[in-house]
Structure 1
């Protein structure tokens, strides 16, 4: 199996998100959906729901900020940088400057690229190129130059599936932990409420 080391810019189109001049406020008459940082959950693909509705009037030249199914949103601001796959999104929709909008090229699987960008080795590279004292950020020019391993498409699919199963396992384990904690609280509350209280 041949694994190539390629620059990010050679395997995907990387674009900064839309820069708003002021805080983005929902416009009921707007026609362009904005995917905000609060809509994204680390470790989970992005799926649009009605509660995410954040509409604005289309700015000039908004087409270069468009986000479609299969794209990747990469959190480029702050010290917690990660990638999520866009699984469903209304059309048209854009992403703000908080993100890089990544569109994989031919023979590059979106799910694999998300997995790769979230690996600790890549995160270490990102730590090296992060800049800015007030609000740290990953410079887009440096991001495009980082190298990632690119195996054949069939291998990318297998790795992506393993990554999906790993995330599912983590989610199920967390649900089990939460259910166990709740059970202990219920038992504890029941025992304490029925305990004998002695008068002092």
Structure 2
């Protein structure tokens, strides 16, 4: 039996300081659902007699679609420090704050009494244990929803008010640091997108341009079909159609979900096949330096295969693009990620009944191609921008991990403040 430290006690939610209490959420909070406002009473511009109307998307998305409604709905107005939860839909259980206005009917406010401060309440309801519980409620019904009754069972460790304040302030500061990194990431992304579009259409230090089927490009550039730049463009097969099962380990088998939006490989999303299966799927054996492009499901994701990934194989949802030696793979990678190609993919997708691209679609892609030296220069500039983004994302992930560890220690009283 684990010995309990002096100054602590064992409770139904774990070991906590002796001066802390454990209380049910409904004993310290009241829940109030928002109001349904007819669409014709919602306005897209602010007027003197209107106030912001808060919907699920205002909390869960970065949206420019802001609505306003009459101030007559005063009984449903919340303050920016109020804690709000999504009641219905795929995001049921999402916890939000920092917005003021009239609350919509698919949201509700959680209003604490004098024993708990709002910042501490918001912090605790964002804890992983609570998140997992609310997630299980979503999965339990045909219509994802959170009932007030289901919240009554949530038990909260309750420190004295001064300690609640300190805990909330420390974690709020951690959130502010994370948000600052997120702002840096957005700025770096914007810079990279600007660089991408400029370099892939104007090149480096050109003064003479010519008209092309892709618009104006530097005079020394060509427009080349992707098919003419490659040794092969092919795709894979699902192993089970040939009688092979997936394995617990073995040859990496890469699917669409194995490739992140940023062109990174997500190793824990790999499947595995046997060497026998890999040898039977010769057409889709992946080699180092191949480009992979998703052609079914999440269209247009691109990745460069590095030495850590091979040996590997893939299915029919990913195309394999193997370039001739005279082309720079990084340049083509960035071009496939450009708006020129991604918008073209979107147009093809709209024309198709299902979300997919054919190999012929890919072979017909037109690439604005500089001389080899300039391909290298452009790829190096864009790779530097990518590396800066990778560093910032890693910094954000590390900060999030540290914050979660700190959160657990503060909310259990292991670390006192």
Q: TM-score, normalised to structure 1's length?
A: 0.73
Q: Is 2:96 the counterpart of 1:84? A: yes
Look up the match of 2:404: none
Look up the match of 1:48: none
User: Post-superposition shift, 1:149?
Assistant: 1.7
Counterparts in 2 of 1:56 and 1:106: CA distance versus 1, 3 Å: closer
User: Post-superposition shift, 1:23?
Assistant: 3.9
User: Post-superposition shift, 1:112?
Assistant: 0.9
Q: TM-score, normalised to structure 2's length?
A: 0.38
The counterpart of 2:54, out of the listed 6, 15, 35, is 35
Whole-Å separation in 2 of the counterparts to 1:17 and 1:160:
26
Which structure has the higher relative contact order (CA within 8 Å, separation 6+)? 1
Look up the match of 2:170: 162
User: Post-superposition shift, 1:191?
Assistant: 4.3
Look up the match of 1:197: 221
Look up the match of 2:86: 75
User: Post-superposition shift, 1:121?
Assistant: 0.8
The counterpart of 1:54, out of the listed 69, 77, 81, is 69
Gaps of 5+ in 1: 45-50
User: Post-superposition shift, 1:111?
Assistant: 0.8
- CA offsets, 1:150-187, max 9 Å, x none? 21212211221122122222221122222223333444
Whole-Å separation in 2 of the counterparts to 1:139 and 1:172:
35
Whole-Å separation in 1 of the counterparts to 2:133 and 2:199:
52
Whole-Å separation in 2 of the counterparts to 1:67 and 1:177:
31
Structure 1 or 2, whichever has the larger Rg, is 2
Q: Secondary structure at the match of 1:94?
A: strand
- CA offsets, 1:85-106, max 9 Å, x none? 356x3xxx53222112111110
Q: Is 2:38 the counterpart of 1:25? A: no
Whole-Å separation in 2 of the counterparts to 1:85 and 1:23:
24
Gaps of 5+ in 2: 1-16, 205-219, 225-417
The counterpart of 1:146, out of the listed 136, 146, 154, is 154
Q: Secondary structure at the match of 2:78?
A: coil
Whole-Å separation in 2 of the counterparts to 1:41 and 1:129:
18
Whole-Å separation in 2 of the counterparts to 1:181 and 1:29:
37
Whole-Å separation in 2 of the counterparts to 1:8 and 1:174:
32
- CA offsets, 1:54-106, max 9 Å, x none? 22755xxx73x44345422111222322222356x3xxx53222112111110
Q: Secondary structure at the match of 2:145?
A: coil
Counterparts in 2 of 1:168 and 1:181: CA distance versus 1, 3 Å: same
